[in-house]
Amino acid sequence: MTSDLDQTDPLASYRDAFVGAETPLVYFDGNSLGRPLRVTGDRLKAFVDEEWGGRLIRGWDEGWMDLPATIGDDLGRICLGAGAGQTIVGDSTTVLLYKTMRAAVAARPGRTEIVVDRDNFPTDRYVAQGVADECGLSIRWIDVDTSAGVTAEQLAEATGERTALVVLSHVAYRSAYLADVEQLTRIAHDAGALVLWDLCHSAGSVPTELDAWGVDLAVGCSYKYLNGGPGAPAFVYVNAGLLDSISQPIQGWIGATDPFLMGPTYAPAAGIRRMLSGTPPVVGMLALQDMLDLLEQVGIDAVRAKSVALTDHAVELAEELLPDVALASPPDSARRGGHVTLNHPLMREVTAALWRRDVIPDYRDPHGLRIGLSPLSTSFAEVRRGLETVRETLDALTR
């Protein structure tokens, strides 16, 4: 199953690096859980038997303790536009959102509002509400068109002297709307606020330039386009200019100046390690490291180019095959992340029927079929076959 577009795709051969590439499955959910690389299973087995089993506790001195920072630096360099020493891996996205929001609010004393859009991912909204409640701030909600994101005008209107923090997503989890990070960050800064970007739906598929754009804080997960595996740890970026003045509330031994001094009082480590709390989740980071190796080899700009080609193809096929379906994602690829959402009142039923036919998209309220196109593991033929199956399924359901 290949198409002409696969024949001319310079990255087509990388698809074979992923488990399951040889199966007829149409996988439209790599933006929710990326496929494993074929090297990862053996890598994990070797890690257990040789590194963990062979080096045992000595492994901590021989590299494990530094893994959160070394993988963080790799991620920053390969995907995020972040210089070394600003990105670190650990915890879940939710826990890191909590830590960064608390840190940001503490860094803007006297300010009383956190600005969040109502279409942001639930965890972002829930954590923001919890942090606002416990710190005596309020949330200033921005209502957005679900097929778009927060506009410059909306953000300028919502921010001011009261704003401590603005929480936004780089790529919207439903529509795939791709925010102008640089512009919106500047607007938040004009109000004296900090900005926290959620990169869950972009890291590994849409490049960022966090340093150049002046981003303060960013958090993202590693199990979507970074193929880290189910529940793999998250990452956090803190701009070097903020690092020494910021502190997070979960004061654990690994984030302390010298973890093995075990002294009477906590003092945060210099640099990005202060964002850590507990023992680094080593086993959970290895698959991410494999994927970063591949992304470095391919280059994130090439990955983005294929991502755009894939989503363009999906949009064209939807226009051709699915005239009764509404595109809920931006038609302009420059404002679109790595997935495409198609709306139809029957999409919940369509999704269930597609799963039974080994076509695996996601369903997101209200009536959205979300087609995630993980750039290196998805073929153009797979996109066509999947959308043809959507057509057949809709026909069967509306017959």
Can you tell me which of 1, 7, 10, 20 binds a second copy, judged by CB under 8 A?
20
358-364: long-range pairs with CB below 8 Å, 24+: 358/24, 358/25, 358/26, 359/25, 359/26, 359/28, 359/385, 359/386, 359/389, 359/390, 360/25, 360/26, 360/27, 360/28, 360/29, 361/28, 361/29, 361/386, 362/28, 362/29, 362/31, 362/32, 364/173, 364/174
In the complex, least distance from residue 84 CB atom to a second copy, rounded to whole angstroms: 22
Q: Does 44 bind a second copy (CB under 8 A)?
A: yes
In this structure, are residues 193 and 167 in contact, taking their beta carbons and an 8 Å threshold? Answer: no
Contacting residue, 49, 157, 209, 244, with a second copy by CB under 8 A: 49
* Options 17, 72, 87, 98; binder of a second copy; rule CB under 8 A: 98
Judged by CB under 8 A, the stretch of 2-10, 108-116, 161-169, 280-288 that binds a second copy is 280-288
Please give the Cα distance from 25 to 355 (Å, whole number): 10
Asked about 223 being catalytic, the answer comes back as: yes
Go through the chain and tell me how many residues it has: 399
94 scored as a contact of a second copy (CB under 8 A): yes
From 256, 340, 342, 373, residue interacting with a second copy (rule: CB under 8 A)? 256
By CB under 8 A, what part of segment 111-130 binds a second copy?
118, 121-123, 125-127, 129-130
Question: Residue 117: how many CB atoms within 10 A of its CB?
Answer: 23
Interface stretch with a second copy, choices 45-53, 203-211, 318-326, 327-335 (CB under 8 A): 45-53
Place of tokens 């590439």: 21
User: How many chain residues interact with a second copy (CB under 8 A)?
Assistant: 80
Residue closer to a second copy (CB basis): 287 or 327? 287
CA distance 331 to 335: 8
Q: Please, what is the minimum distance in Å from the beta carbon of residue 353 to a second copy?
A: 15
Q: Are 219 and 97 in contact (CB under 8 A)?
A: yes
Binding mask 207-236 vs a second copy (x if CB under 8 A, - otherwise)?
--------------x-x-----xxxxxx--
| CA-based nearest residue to 275, from 81, 72, 123 | 72
The upper half-sphere exposure of residue 82, i.e. CA atoms within 13 Å in the direction of its Cβ, equals 31
177 lines the binding site for a second copy (CB under 8 A) = no
Measured in whole angstroms, the distance separating CA 201 from the mean position of its chain's CA atoms is: 4
Catalytic annotation present for 198: yes
42 is an interface residue for a second copy by CB under 8 A: yes
Stretch near a second copy under the rule CB under 8 A, chosen from 8-16, 78-86, 283-291, 384-392 = 283-291
Q: Which of 12, 240, 250, 269 binds a second copy (CB under 8 A)?
A: 250
Window 284 to 303, contacts with a second copy (CB under 8 A): 284, 287
Shortest Å, Cβ 268 to a second copy: 10
Q: What is the CA radius of gyration of the chain?
A: 21
Count of H helices and E strands in the chain? 13, 13
End-to-end CA distance of the chain: 28
Query: Catalytic pick from 140, 224, 274, 304?
Result: 224
Task: Respond yes or no: is residue 363 known to be catalytic.
Answer: no
Nearer to a second copy, 77 or 348 (CB): 348
Q: Kindly name the residue from 198, 216, 290, 362 that is annotated as catalytic.
A: 198
> Is 370 considered catalytic here?
yes
E-assigned strand segments in 121-205: 138-142, 163-169, 194-198
Active site residue 173: no
Q: Is residue 357 near a second copy by the rule CB under 8 A?
A: no
Tokens 């940001």, residue located: 104
> Segment 260-279, which members bind a second copy (CB under 8 A)?
262-266, 277-279
For a second copy, the binding residues in 58-87 under the rule CB under 8 A are 58-60, 64
If the CB atoms of residues 179 and 360 are measured against a second copy, the closer one turns out to be 360
Catalytic residues: 121, 198, 223-224, 370
